[in-house]
Amino acid sequence: MTAVMSPTRAQTLRNRYGYGIGTIGRDAAYTLLSMFLLYYLSDTLQVSTPVFAAITVILLVVRVIDAIVDPFVGVLVDNTRSRFGKFKPWIVGGVLGSSSLLVALFAPWQLGDAAFIAVFTVVYIAWSAAYAANDIGYWSMLPALTQNQREREKIGAFARICASIGTFAIVIGIVPISSAIAEATGDVASSFFWVALVVAVITVVLQLVMVVLVREDPTVVTQSHTRFRELFGVIFRNDQLLAIAAAFVLFMTAFSVTAGLGVFYMEYVYGDLGMYSVFAAVLGVSQLTALALYPLAASRMSRRRLFTIALFIVVAGYVFFFLTPPGGLVMLVGAGVAVFAAQAVIQIQLLMFIADTVEYGEHKFGRRNDSITLSVQPFIYKLSSALANGVIGWVVLASGMKDAASAAEMTEPGVFLVRTAMCIVPGILIVISYFVYRRFYVLDEGKYAVIVEELQARKTEAATAAQSTSPADEAEGRPVGA
C-alpha cells in the first residue's frame, strides 16, 4: 500500500521544486540581456562606434543607480500586506513588465543615432525597474519558505540548477538559433527579437506556475512597518551582510567580465564563433553537475571549507585559461570547466550566506526584514554587472574588436588585452574577495543554529506571556494574578 504523504511534506517538496522552476525563464532572460546585449548592438545591429560607446556608459550608470535603488524596493516589498502575501504581487507585476520590455530592447528600431540612444535609455530604465520588483520579490521569498538551513540549501541548490538551465539554454543556443532565424527570415537585425519574445513568454508562464505552487512558512512572523529612514540601519548595522556583500561584488564582477567577453573571445581571439555553442554546452554540463552534487558536498564539509576549495579551483582555472595557446581547445575547455563548475558552487553559497543574515539581523536588532536584506543580492549582481559591462565595452573598443571583421584582423596587443581582461584581472579580484570573506564573515553553521534556537525561544516566551495575561487584568490595568 502506498504511504500517504503528509501535507507538510508535500508542501515542502512543492516549495523546493516550484521555487526552482520559476528561475528557468527569468535567468534565461537576464542572461540574454546581461551577456549578449552589447554583442547584439555591436555585431547584429552594427550600431556606430559613438552609439556603442554611449550605450556602454548608459548601461554602467543605470545599473549602478538601479543597484542603489534596490534596497528601497526592498522596503516597499517588506511593507506590503495583501491577500496574496508580500512577495507574490511584486513577482507577478515585475515579470509581466520586465518580459514585455525585454522584447522591446531587442526590437530592431530604425532610428537615427540620437533617437536610438534616447529610446534605448528610456526602455532600459523601465526594464530595470520592473526587473528589480520581480528580482527582489523573488529572492527575498526564500528565507520566508523555511528556517531550516539544510532545506534552504536544497531549495537554493535546485533553484540554481534551474537557473543554470535557463542561462545555458541561452548561452548554448543564442548563436545557432539567431543565425537560423536570420537565414530563414532574411532579416539578421530581427533574429534576436524572436529569441527575446520566446524567452519572455516562457518566463511569464513558469513564474506563474511558481506563484501557484509555493507557500510561505506560517511560523515566520512578519515584522511591523519599516520606514525608509530605517533602511540604512537595517543594512549597515548588519556587519555580516556587509562583509559578504563586499566579497561577492568583487567575485561577481570578475566572473561577469569573463562570461561577458566569452562570445567576443571565441570570434575574435579563438577565431571560430561556431565553437562557442560547443564550448558553452560543456561548461553548462559541468555547472549543472556541480550544482547537483552540491547538497552531497555540503553535507560532508563545512561551508567555509567548501567555499575555500571552490575559490582555489576558480583561480587555478583562470591561470590555466591564460596559459592556453591559440587553438588549444582541450586546455580551454579544461579551464572553463574548472571556472564554471566552481562558480556554480559559490553562487549557491552567496544565496545561503545572505539568507542566513536575515535571522542574524532579526536576532541582533529584534526585527525581521527579509526583502531589505535579500535586496542586497540583486544589488551585488547589478553593481557587478554594471562594472563588468563598463570593462567589456572598453575592452571591445580598446582591443580593436569593434572594428575588426575577424580574428585575422586582431593585433597582438589587442589579443593580449582581451586575455588579460578575461583572466588576470578577474583572478586578482577573486583572491581579494576571498580575503575579505575570511576576515569579516563569521556566521558559520554553529552560530546560525544558536541564533535560530534563541529566536524560537524568544517567540515561545512572548507567546506564553501573552497567554498568561487575562483580558480583564489588561482592561483594568492590574498586574496579572493580582
Looking at the structure of the chain, the number of domains it has is 1
**261 has a pLDDT exceeding 60:** yes
Give the largest Cα separation in the chain, rounded.
92
CB 107 within 8 A of CB 193: yes
- Cα torsion 202, 216, 297, 320: sign: positive
The residue among 259, 205, 280 whose CA lies nearest residue 26 is: 205
Kindly provide the residue ranges of all beta strands, DSSP E only, lying in 314-462, ordered along the sequence. none
DSSP, res 406: S
Any idea what DSSP says for residue 112?
A: -
Tens of pLDDT along 53-71? 898 888 888 888 877 887 7
Q: Report which residue type is found at 151.
A: E
Residue 373: domain span: 15-214+231-460
Q: How far apart are CA 279 and CA 374, in angstroms?
A: 33
Average pLDDT, the chain: 83
C-alpha cell read off for 29: 532572460
Q: Compute how many other C-beta atoms are within 10 angstroms of the C-beta atom of residue 290.
A: 26
**Segment 272-320, tens digit of pLDDT:** 777 777 777 877 888 888 888 888 888 888 888 999 999 999 999 898 8
The arithmetic mean of pLDDT across residues 386-398, rounded, is 88
Q: Which residue's C-alpha cell is 527570415?
A: 185
Q: Does residue 238 sit within a domain?
A: yes
pLDDT of residue 481: 42
Q: Is residue 209 part of a domain?
A: yes
Contact present, 127 and 101 (Cβ < 8 Å): yes
User: What single-letter DSSP state applies at residue 267?
Assistant: I
pTM over 0.85? The answer is: no
The one-letter code for the residue type at 82 is S
* pLDDT tens-digit readout, 4-44: 344 467 778 888 889 989 899 999 998 898 888 888 888 88
In b/e form, how buried is each residue of 19-54, taking b as 16+ CB within 10 angstroms?
bbbbbbbbbbbbbbbbbbbbbbbbbbbebeeebbbb
pLDDT digits (tens, 9 = 90+) for 163-214: 889 988 898 888 888 888 888 888 877 888 999 999 999 999 999 999 999 8
By C-alpha distance, which of 235, 277, 299, 246 is closest to 432? 246
Residue 95 binned pLDDT confidence (cut-offs 50, 70, 90): very high
pLDDT for 230 equals: 67
Q: Is residue 420 part of a domain?
A: yes
Residue 480 lies in a domain: no
Q: Is residue 113 situated within a structural domain?
A: yes
- The CA angle 121-126-129, to the nearest 5 degrees, is 125
Q: For residue 244, what is the enclosing H or E element?
A: helix 239-260
C-alpha 391/C-alpha 397 separation (Å) is: 10
> For residue 71, is it within any domain?
yes
The pLDDT > 90 percentage for the chain reads 21
Q: What is the grid cell recorded at 7?
A: 501535507
> What pLDDT sits at residue 469?
61
Q: What is the pLDDT of residue 269?
A: 85
* Interval 96-107 mean pLDDT: 92
For 270, residues 6+ apart whose C-beta sits below 8 A from its C-beta are 326, 327, 332, 407
Residue 269, domain member (yes or no): yes
Cell representation of residue 91: 513577482
- Residues 6 or more apart whose CB falls under 8 angstroms from that of 456 comprise none
**CA-closest candidate to residue 123, choices 94, 103, 108:** 103
Q: Classify residue 273 by burial, with Cβ atoms within 10 Å: 0-12, 13-18, 19+.
A: middle
Signed CA dihedral, 55, 60, 63, 69: sign only = negative
Is 391 among the domain residues? yes
Give percent above pLDDT 70 in the chain. 92
State the pLDDT at residue 399: 92
Name the residue among 275, 277, 21 with its Cα closest to residue 168: 277
| 3 state DSSP class of 109 | coil
Task: Identify the pLDDT of residue 465.
Answer: 78
Region 347-362 average pLDDT: 84
* Continuous H helices in 40-141: 49-78, 88-105, 113-139
Residue 111, classed as helix, strand or coil, is: coil
Q: What pLDDT was estimated at residue 202?
A: 95
Q: What is the CATH number of the domain that holds 162?
A: 1.20.1250.20
